[in-house]
Structure 1
């Protein structure tokens, strides 16, 4: 069983314990669309990531609201929040706290297999959900994508190879993320972005986002030069003593081109 298969099996067990989401009674600041933001200017999707299966604990004591505000103040295009509890030590409460604290788009980063997860994400203030092509059957992917869009959410569709990119394009996804990490082995290579970008239709209707393996401004510059409009960065920001500076440097690197 691969790591991804193990995570998905756990997720199916977890959602059995979820209670139906009640009507929305929490106020969240109005947020713009990530697609529009990345069409206007390339940027960093900055992640709240306490831990991961491959790296173990990264930053367990983080003040997530303070971290999120540092991201926003530095000009992040959006904030990604890991909500998986078992493997990434996040929570839906993390998402809610961040969504209440910032005015930029917020991505619920989890392994989505059910509509109830989408409902929970929206109730907690998420404006974008993640759908991973490798984790879903094609019909399930389409059903969850349609459901999220019907709720007014944006959908980041994540791919890792040419076949999965084809599936995302067939879905007419507007936000397509190339995960430089192989979710079956957890090996990482940012060359993956350059490889898949060769088959990406840069038509102005959709944007390419490079995910994982971004540690330096040179990595960011490589991803932008390969065609990415956005980069998703987690570990580097969580370990940095100056995450805002990291974001500004990565953004100015693009602006200086």
Structure 2
């Protein structure tokens, strides 16, 4: 049975083929801003606040959002990084969104996309990304190791995303220092904060920093995940729909 993730990756292959056929090069001497260092220095749970217009699971979320305005509010109210969705077919984001945010916000930026090839990593760095995402469910071991190594060689932080024990073992085999636990199953799209609790009850003593992703709505959720062992949160939909974005950002920055 073909899943949404399968469809997304098929589209990414087409995108990568186009980038390579276009003979585009993405060279930059820019030194990325470290998200890892920011987490280590933080006395509160770190927050990756996301700019997301739409998603396959929720449909249109906030199509009229101004990415720069949204990211600026995030940064001014204590967010530690901004995640910018750059996938167009499924999330209605663009690389121009990432570039625009980078020109206006100083905190680290996550290029939130489905990375399957080195050319996407080079493009991410050249466009202002400081962090890239590698999704274990979308990559085999050879791909993960190769893309992780390429990212680190170019000074980028890497958020390695997992959802279950098998994927966690693969992330740890990379010696990844930032591991995201996605509470949303990318096949069924069911969301459950207990996924973070379950995995950290088993792996919480590992050296990596753990980021809990998806389904986080309230300060109480942030406290729950902090108590489970998460050092950072990735929050998108809640912030995109918030009546008071600034207050919502502040509320999620709970003391460690």
1:143/1:123 CA distance change after superposition, 3 Å: same
CA displacement, residues 162-216 of structure 1 (integer Å, 9 cap, x when unaligned): 010000001000000000000011111011000000122435x420000000111
CA distance in 1, matches of 2:28, 2:41: 31
User: TM-score, normalising length from structure 1?
Assistant: 0.93
| Within-5 A mapping of 1:115-134 | 115-134=118-137
CA distance in 2, matches of 1:125, 1:179: 24
Deviant stretches of 4+, over 4 Å: none
SS of 1:196's partner is helix
Match of 1:213 in 2: 215
Residue 28 (structure 2) pairs with residue 24 (structure 1): yes
SS of 2:180's partner is strand
**8 Å CA contact retained: 1:114, 1:144:** yes
Residue 96 (structure 2) pairs with residue 93 (structure 1): yes
CA distance in 2, matches of 1:146, 1:249: 36
Q: How many corresponding residue pairs? A: 250
In the alignment, structure 2 segments of 5+ residues that lack a partner are none
CA displacement, residues 210-229 of structure 1 (integer Å, 9 cap, x when unaligned): 00001111111111111100
SS of 2:202's partner is coil
Match of 2:47 in 1: 44
Match of 1:247 in 2: 249
SS of 2:176's partner is coil
In the alignment, structure 1 segments of 5+ residues that lack a partner are none
SS of 1:157's partner is strand
Residue 83 (structure 2) pairs with residue 80 (structure 1): yes
CA displacement, residues 55-106 of structure 1 (integer Å, 9 cap, x when unaligned): 1111111111111110000010100000110000001111111111111110
